Amino acid sequence: MARGNQRDLARQKNLKKQQDNAKSQKKAGDPKKRMESDAEILRQKQAAANARKEAEAAGPKSKK
C-alpha cells in the first residue's frame, strides 16, 4: 500500500461525480415536448402574476 488511501478517495470522488452527472441528464426525452411543457408552465406563472397585479391595483392604494 504505497499509495495509502488515495485510490479509494479517487474512486469515491469519481462515483459522486458520475451520480451528479446522471442527475443532470434526467431531462432526457423529446426536446420539443419538454420545450412545450416549459412554455406552458411559464404561461401559468405569468397568468398568476397578472392576476396578482390586477388584484393589487383594484385594492386600496395606501394604508395609513
SS3 of 19-60: the string is HHHHHHCCCCCCHHHHHHHHHHHHHHHHHHHHHHHHHHHHCC
Q: SS3 breakdown of the chain: % helix, strand, coil, rounded to 5? A: 75, 0, 25
pLDDT digit string (tens) for the chain, length 64 residues: 566 899 999 999 999 999 888 777 666 678 898 899 999 999 999 999 999 999 999 886 666 5
Report the pLDDT value the prediction gives residue 4, as an integer from 0 to 100: 81
> For residue 31, what pLDDT is reported?
83
Residue type, 27: K
Is the distance from CB of 33 to CB of 40 less than 8 angstroms?
A: no
Confidence (pLDDT) at 9: 94
